[in-house]
Structure 1
Amino acid sequence: MVFMFGLCLTTKAQDTLPLPTEYIKSGDFVDHTYKPLTLKLSDDGSKYIRFLFWNQMWARVTENNPGTVSVDGRPSRQSTDIGIRRARVLAYAEISPRFLILTHWGINNQTFINGGVPGGGMTGNPGNIPVSVNPETGEGSAIGLSAKKPQLFFHDIWTEYKITDQLYMGMGLHYWNGISRMTSQSTLNFMTIDAPIFNWPLIELTDQFARQFGFYAKGQIGKWDYRLALNKPFSVGNGGRYDEATQRPIAANIANDHWATQGYIAYQFFEKENNKLPFFVGSYLGTKKVFNIGAGWHHHPKATSSANGSGEQQFHDISLASLDVFLDLPFSSASGTALTAYAVYYNYDFGPNYMRNVGIMNVGFGGTSQNGPGNAQPTIGTGNIFYANAGFLLPKQLLGDKGKLQPYGALTHKNFQYFEDTTWQYDLGLNYYINAHQAKVTLQYSQRPIFENYRKSSAAGEWILQTHIFL
C-alpha cells in the first residue's frame, strides 16, 4: 500500500475549520490553503492518521499586584516578558469506524524564569521560585524550579470504541469533561485570547492540565449532544484548617480514593456540531450557524476538608454545576460578517471558603495583597461566577485579501464566599485573522480586581500580544 498525505473529508475534526471562500482566489493573491496533515492508510481515506501542530506565543506588559518584586529582588510595579503559552502536538487515528486512538502531548507556560524542569541542567538557575501562593499571605515557595528544558507530557491519551451510531465509549486520560462547554474548549480556536481559567476549576490539582483518568460515553441523539464520564481524580492535598483570625473554616483539597462523576448535555437548535473529538469551537467565523443551550456538572465526594473551632476535621464534596448558551450566527455571505456570543453561569461548592489564586505565566514574586504577586488573582473558589463574551467579525471588504478583523469583549462577575465583596472585571481585544484560526494575531487588555482585607481595594491591568499558528 502506498502511504500519502491527503485530505480525508469524511473524518474532518471540529478543530479543523473550513477555510472561508474569500481566501481561495487566483491572480497575484498568495494562496494560504493547504490540506490537513493526514496520512492516508487506505485509498479512499477512510483509514487514516491525522496530525495537528500548534504554537501560541505571548508577549506581555503587566501592571503588577501591590508588593510584587522582580526576579532580582527589587520592587516591580510593571513587568514585560515573552514566553510560550502552548506548544502542542496531537495525533489520532481510525483504521476502522469501530475504534479510534488519540494521543496529545506538549508543553505550556514557559517564561524566562519558570516553566522548566527542576534544575534545568548545568545552567538551569534553580532557586526559591514561588509556584503556589497562599491567598491570605501572598507567599509561596518551591526549590529547584527553572525556566529551561520544559518537560513534554501527555495531555490526552485514550482509546474509543463505537457501540452504536448514537453511543461511543472510551477510557484513558481524557478531555470529555462535564460542567460547561468551555470546560471542554478547544485551544485552537478561542475567540478571546485564552480561557478565563475558572472554566477549568480542577486545573492542576485533581486533574492533569484539565484531564482526568476515567471512562466516558458520548454521542448525539437527534438534536441532543451528550458526554458523560466516571473519573478517578488525581489524589492531592493535605486538607484545610480553621482560621482563628476570621473565626471560620477554610476548605482545601485532601488526598482521597473516591471516584467522580461528570457530564455535559446540550440541545442544538440549528446546525449540529462535530463531536468526533471533545474540543468545542470558540468561534466558527461565519462558517456555521449554531445556537446551543447546555448544562453540566462535576461531583467528587469528600474531596476537600476543613476544621471546626475545636480542631475536628470535616469533609466536603466538590459539587460543581453550570448552565450556558452559545451562539454563532453568520449575518451576510456577501460581507462575511458574523456574531459569536457565549454566556455561562457557574455554581461552585468546594467546601467552606475554598479559594485558589491563579496567575498565568506569572513572573512576579512576593506580593502584599491577597492576590499574591505579579498578575495573580482570585480565580477558583466556593461561590458563583457569571461570564459572557461576544465578538463581531467585520466585513471582509475592510482588509480585502489581507485578512479579517474581529473585535471582542468579555465580562466576568465573581461572588466568592471567601471575600466580602463581589467584583466585575473585563477583557477587550482584537483578532487579526490572516488565515482564519490557522494563522492569527490577537491583542487583548485584561483588567483584574485587587483584594486586601477581604475587600476589593483597587484594580490592575495586563496587555497581551499573541501569535497563533496551527497546522
Structure 2
Amino acid sequence: MNFKQLFIALSMLGAYGVMAQPTTLNEGKEITSGLTISGSGQIWMRYSDLNPGSRINDNPVDHVYDISIRRYRLSFKGRASENINFALLIGNNNLNLKNPDTPPTILEMYMNYKFSDKLIITAGKSGWTGLSRYAAPSSSNSLGLDVNFAAGPLLNFQDDRYRKYSIAAHGISGKLDYRAVIAKPVNTRSNSVLTDDAKLVYNPNSLYTSAYVKYQFLENEPSTPFSAGTFLGTKDILNVGVGFLNQTKSAASLSVQNDTLTHAARSFAIDAFYEQKLTNNHSWTLYAAYLNHDIGPNYVRNLAADNVVDAGQSSSFNGVGNAVPVNGTGNIFVLQAGYLQKLEGEAPLMEGIQPFVTAQYLDLDAFDDPVMLYEGGISFLLRGHNSKFVFGYQNWPVIMKDMSMKTTRNSMAVLMYQFKFN
C-alpha cells in the first residue's frame, strides 16, 4: 500500500467513525457538560552569553539580560457525543524584547473517534507523532528547564511547534502503547539557499509518516500526544520504546555539478523511561535515548530558544544569539536524570525540590569532533507542575564556520516560573 492509498484509507476510517456515531445524545448539552478549560504559562528571567557576531537593534552584543514569556497556552476540550471528542488549543511562544506583541495563534484543533481503548482515530492539527517519547515533549510537565530537541529535526520548519495536520491511529492494548501518523508538512519558512550541505526545503508533494511503540512493564501512562518528563513520583513506570519517521522530499543540496539533489528525512530511535513512585519521600526519574537521523549530507539543525537577537551574519556556524546545534544527520545519545525529594512538615513553603541533569552527545557527519550539550538545575515545587520555580543552566560549544570548536563555551542561566490550571 503506497502513501496515497494509506492516506485515503485512514480518512475513510475516520469518516466511517463519525457517520456510525449514534445521535441519541443532546449535542448542545453534551458539549457544555463535557467542556474543560485549562491553561499554562512560563515566564523566563534570563542571563545568556551570545554567539560571536550577534547584534540587537544593530548594536553588537556578547551577552543579554532579559525577561520574557516563554510559552502560554489556553486549552478547550469537550465531548461532542459518546465516542467523539474535540480539542482547541491557542497560545504562542517567545514574547520577548524582539517580539513583544506576538498575537495568539491556533496551535491545535482536532477531533477523535474512540472505537475502543485499543483504537482511536484523531484528525486535524495535533501533536500526535512517532519516532520517540520526546518527539512530542510536554513543555509544562518537563523534568528540566525546557524540552529536549534531539528528536525534532524538522521542528518549526515543517511543523508548527511540533503540531502537524495529520491523521493518527493510537491506543493501548494491554501493555503496548502505540501511535501511527500520516501528515502533510506545513510551510512555515521560506526555502533555504542551497549549498553542498543539505538544507530543509518545502515541497508541496512531500508526505510525513511516523510510528512509535512502547512496552509498559509497570503502570500504564496516560495515552496523550505529548509525553511528560516526570510524573513527580505519582507512578511506577518502566517503558521501552522504538520508533521511526520518514518524510519524502524534505531537504535538498547541490551536487558537484551544481545540480539540485533531493533528500528524504529518515530517523530511527530507541529509548527507555523510568520513574519510581515516591518511596520514603523521594523518587528517581531516568531517561535514555539513541537517535539516528539521515536528512541529507552534513545536515545540522541549529535552534535558538527564545532568541532576542536580530537576524544577521554571524562569525560562528551556530548562528546569532543563543543558537545551539541540537540535531542533524548522524547519531545522538541523550541521558536525563532527576531526583525528587518531598518536603515534610506543617504547611511547608514548598512541596518538594527536584534537581535534574541532561547530557546530549551528538556525533554528526558535519563535524570532525562530537558535540556535547549540558543542562542542569533544580525545580522548586510549590504545587507540583501547577506552580513551580525552575532554575536551569545550559552550556554549549561555539562552532566556527570552518567547523573548528572554540575552546570557550557559552552558557545561559534562567529562572522560570510556571503556572497551570485546569
TM-score by shorter chain over 0.5: yes
Give the structure 2 partner of residue 210 of structure 1. 162
Aligned counterpart, 1:139? none
Shift of 1:288: 0.6
Q: Secondary structure at the match of 2:344?
A: helix
Q: Does 1:462 align with 2:412?
A: yes
Match of 2:52 among 40, 62, 66: 66
Superposition TM-score, scaled by structure 2 size: 0.87
Select which of 33, 39, 42 maps to 1:56: 42
TM-aligned CA distance change 1:302 to 1:308, over 3 Å: same
Cα distance, 1:252 vs. partner? 3.2
Q: Which amino acid aligns with 1:274?
A: P
* Whole-Å separation in 1 of the counterparts to 2:161 and 2:110: 15
Q: 1:242 & 1:74 partners in 2: Cα distance?
A: 30
Q: CA deviation at 1:237?
A: 5.0
Please say if residues 239 and 305 of structure 1, whose CA atoms lie closer than 8 Å, have aligned partners that are also in contact: no
8 Å CA contact 1:240, 1:304 repeated in 2: no
User: How many aligned residue pairs are there?
Assistant: 388
Shift of 1:50: 1.2
Equivalences for 1:374-385 in 2 at 5 Å? 374-385=321-332
Pairing 1:159-198 to 2, within 5 Å after superposition: 159-198=111-150
- Residue of structure 2 equivalent to 1:224: 176
Assess if the C-alpha contact under 8 Å between 1:177 and 1:183 holds in 2. yes
Quote the offset at 1:399 in angstroms.
9.2
Return closer, same or farther for 1:364/1:347 CA change in 2, 3 Å cut-off: same
Matched, 1:328 2:281: no
Deviation, 1:324, is: 0.7
Q: How do residues 321-400 of structure 1 correspond to structure 2 at under 5 angstroms?
A: 321-332=268-279, 335-365=280-310, 366-397=313-344
Q: 1:108 is matched by which residue type in structure 2?
A: N
3-state SS, counterpart of residue 241 of structure 1: coil
Q: Give the equivalent residue in structure 2 for 1:88.
A: 73
Is contact 1:166-1:221 (8 Å) kept? yes
Distance 1:63 1:427, change over 3 A: same
Cα 1:398–1:406 change in 2 (3 A) is: farther
Corresponding residue for 2:85? 100
TM-aligned CA distance change 1:395 to 1:163, over 3 Å:
closer
User: What secondary structure is seen at the aligned counterpart in 1 of 2:165?
Assistant: strand
**What is the rounded CA distance, in whole Å, between the counterparts of 1:165 and 1:189 in structure 2?**
24
**Alpha-carbon distance in structure 2 between the residues aligned to 1:384 and 1:358:** 18
After superposition, what is the alpha-carbon deviation per residue over 1:362-402, rounded to whole angstroms, capped at 9, x for unaligned? 12345321112221122232112111110101142389622
- Give the letter for the 1:222 counterpart: G
Instruction: Return the offset for 1:171.
Output: 0.7
Give the superposed CA RMSD. Answer: 2.1
- Aligned residue for 1:418, secondary structure, equals coil
Q: TM-score, normalized by length of structure 1?
A: 0.78
Q: CA deviation at 1:254?
A: 3.7
- Structure 2: where are the runs of 5+ without partners? 1-27
Residue of structure 2 equivalent to 1:278: 225
- Residue number among 183, 194, 209 corresponding to 1:241 in the alignment: 194
Give 5+ residue unaligned stretches, structure 1: 1-39, 115-146, 244-248
Give 3-state SS (helix, strand or coil) of 1:182's partner: helix
Alpha carbons of 1:340 and 1:400: their partners in 2 closer, same or farther (altered >3 Å)? farther
Q: Are the aligned partners of 2:157 and 2:200 in contact in 1 as well (CA < 8 Å)? A: no
In 1, Cα distance between equivalents of 2:176 and 2:29: 32
CA distance in 2, matches of 1:199, 1:58: 24
**AA in 2 matched with 1:190:** S
Do the aligned residues in 1 keep the contact of 2:50 with 2:322 (CA within 8 Å)?
A: yes
CA 1:110–1:46: 2 relative to 1, 3 Å: closer
Paired position in structure 2 for 1:258: 206
Q: In structure 2, how many angstroms separate the alpha carbons of the residues matched to 1:364 and 1:46? A: 45
